[in-house]
Chains A and B, each alone.
Chain A
Amino acid sequence: ILNVEQSPQSLHVQEGDSTNFTCSFPSSNFYALHWYRWETAKSPEALFVMTLNGDEKKKGRISATLNTKEGYSYLYIKGSQPEDSATYLCAPYSAGNMLTFGGGTRLMVKP
């Protein structure tokens, strides 16, 4: 089973702050990196699927970058809003392991 680390585990920010968090994973046998957002009392929803080194994806105020050589991805949220409060999960997909989820970063945005 892959070791997937997400940091920080939790984060409190004020509305309007920009924030970022990290997903670290083994770089060998890498196929793709998935990001999911999981709001309380809802089901996780896919944000991004990234495959190429240097890839950058954007969805509204949320963007993500990928470094497959060193095994990390950053998720950025610009101008956080209360509705961004959720747990953000990353999951690398690698040969033989399929998707392996990290423990998540729990973001709380105060109005």
Chain B
Amino acid sequence: DGGITQSPKYLFRKEGQNVTLSCEQNLNHDAMYWYRQDPGQGLRLIYYSQIVNDFQKGDIAEGYSVSREKKESFPLTVTSAQKNPTAFYLCASSIVRSYNSPLHFGNGTRLTVT
């Protein structure tokens, strides 16, 4: 079955450590996205990528980094510079980055930093 796989489901880190969240898709989609969810707020865009080796900052990119070396993979690194890293992170993809292209989401990773 085609889909998006995020791993791990839960992640715990100490403050000051970088951590990388995995996102893999087998839908052959060109565009991929990272969103963050905090309680009471809508999903906020961290980074997106339209094609391999290209990515753009979203609304809240500070303290995060990404890479897109393969079409299937879009890992997100939460660096120690991110002030409030504890959150739920969702990865998504779409056929292309377009207004009429719906997003397909993974199951998310809940990151807790203490």
A42 within 8 A of B: yes
Residue A101 contacts which of B42, B102, B104 (CB distance < 8 angstroms)? B42
* A interface footprint on B35-52 (CB within 8 Å = 1, 0 otherwise): 100001111110010000
Q: How many residues of B contact A (CB 8 A)?
A: 23
- When C-beta atoms are compared, the residue in chain B nearest to A41 turns out to be B107
Given A4-B42, A101-B42, A103-B42: A93 in contact with B99 (beta carbons within 8 A) = yes
Residue A99 contacts which of B4, B45, B90 (CB distance < 8 angstroms)? B45
Given A42-B107, A43-B107, A43-B108: A34 in contact with B43 (beta carbons within 8 A) = no
Q: List 18 A-B contacts (CB under 8 A).
A: A4-B42, A31-B99, A36-B103, A43-B4, A43-B106, A43-B107, A43-B108, A44-B103, A44-B105, A45-B105, A49-B100, A51-B100, A89-B42, A89-B43, A91-B43, A98-B48, A98-B58, A103-B41
